[in-house]
């Protein structure tokens, strides 16, 4: 469910934010959400486990950096 929620939240991010941070796999995150929601019978546990162990920690690092950069921009204004 957490992976599904991450995919849902990615869907409401602005296109500008996603374009400015194109190193994040936004499309793949949303795609995994869609598989979980619409094609759950074909969810591969090995891919899901790989996502939990490797991809989500990387995404967390990327999000922390985006937020830090945003805070720096606000301070500069």
Active site residues: 33
Contacts of 26 (CB under 8 A, 6+ apart): 10, 13, 18
Q: What does the buried/exposed string (b/e) look like for 29-55 if buried means 16 or more CB atoms within 10 Å of the residue's CB?
A: bbebbebbeeeeeeeeeeeeeebeeeb
């Amino acid at each position: 469910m957490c992976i599904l929620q991450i995919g849902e939240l990615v869907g409401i991010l602005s296109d500008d934010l996603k374009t400015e941070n194109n190193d994040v796999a936004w499309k793949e995150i949303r795609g995994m959400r869609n598989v979980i929601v619409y094609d759950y019978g074909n969810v591969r546990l090995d891919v899901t486990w790989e996502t939990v162990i490797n991809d989500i920690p990387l995404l967390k690092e990327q999000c922390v950096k985006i937020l830090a950069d945003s805070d720096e921009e606000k301070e500069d204004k």
